[in-house]
Amino acid sequence: MNKKNQILIPAIVCVFIVSACTSPLPGSTNTPAQTLSEPAVPNTVTAQTETPETILPSVSPTITQDLSLPTPTLIPTRSAGPLIIVTYQIKEFFPVESLSFTTVQGQSYADVELKNQGTRFPDRSFYEGMTYCIQNELDGASLIACVGYNQGGTQSWVTLTRDGKEIYRIDTGSGFPVSPLQGLWVYDHHWVLETVHITTHQNGNATSADLVGQISVDGDLINERLNYAEAFSFQTIDGQPFFFFKRDGKMGFSYAGTETPLNYDTIPHYGCCSGAVLNPQAWTDAVAFIGQLGETWYYAIIDVLDRP
């Protein structure tokens, strides 16, 4: 099959209602939370003053092509700068656990066919005791991001250290089965931290949560700078920064500093348990994701246009 028409791994429908999830949080216990004073957790601590110009898109971006509604064609019909967007309209989902579906053209795709479609990024996560961390290296310095919880596991934050010295800390809200630490990336002398701010709601025995993606670049929370309701699923594509965002109720993505709108109501992400199979899937030169528009679901691949 031609590389451009290959299917990559899908993304997720985020499961917000959690009533029976019993997975322990790092640093939490099954006993009621004790009333303890929490450490002071500032929202941000700027690591450096230099603005990472290459990742911050303009609020009025230059779009290479006016993008219409997603189409079910297998032939790429939309482009955004050096990227190409291939969209498949889904006719029918099979059980989420297997992540299988058929397209409107009648083609069926099984979970096994959707795996190993490209080069994955190395897994840099590890546990330090019960603490979940991610490590990376920037300009010869060791970067380590770790999740912190209060004693009851009801409040969380993420810290970032460079060569053992804390340079950044961000509040990530309530404790929840979804990890507030989602990624630690480096590119072109910049570091990027993706976190989730979690707000939980209790309704009887059921717990729901609002999960808001946050992206910090060199200590600058770009959600605030660029008025994003959320920013999520950061990765690099062909070495350039890429992430999805939502602003004013509309979805889009940013690549190498240029924004491109995506006409979806939602792009599932941060799903846990069986729903995690629908999260955006990252490769070094592409990303695959699920999008929903009205009652219709789409599977899309964003790839490098001129990649051999």
Alpha-carbon distance of 299 to 241, in angstroms, equals 22
> Among all chains, which residue has been given the structure tokens 């995506």?
262
User: Is the model's pLDDT at 259 over the cut of 60?
Assistant: yes
Give the rounded percent of residues in the chain with a pLDDT score beyond 70.
Answer: 72
pTM of the shown model: 0.76
The pLDDT, as a whole number, for residue 117 is 73
The pLDDT, as a whole number, for residue 308 is 58
Q: Mean pLDDT across the stretch 127-135?
A: 96
Question: Mean pLDDT across the chain, nearest whole number?
Answer: 78
The pLDDT, as a whole number, for residue 32 is 36
The pLDDT, as a whole number, for residue 65 is 38
User: Is the model's pLDDT at 57 over the cut of 80?
Assistant: no
Q: Mean pLDDT across the stretch 279-303?
A: 92
The pLDDT-based confidence of 275 (bands split at 50, 70, 90) is confident
CB 51 within 8 A of CB 221: no
Give the pLDDT confidence of 70-86 residue by residue, as tens digits: 444 444 468 888 999 98
Alpha-carbon distance of 135 to 147, in angstroms, equals 12
Q: Mean pLDDT across the stretch 184-202?
A: 96
SS3 breakdown of the chain: % helix, strand, coil, rounded to 5?
5, 45, 50
Which residues is 143 bridged to in the sheet?
Answer: 136, 162
Q: Mean pLDDT across the stretch 56-76?
A: 42
Give the pLDDT confidence of 149-175 residue by residue, as tens digits: 998 888 999 999 999 999 999 999 998
The one-letter amino acid at 17: I
Cα-based angle 260, 262, 263 (whole degrees, multiple of 5): 145
Alpha-carbon distance of 268 to 99, in angstroms, equals 14
CB atoms near residue 69 (< 10 Å): 10
Domain residue spans of the chain: 8-15+53-304
The pLDDT, as a whole number, for residue 112 is 67
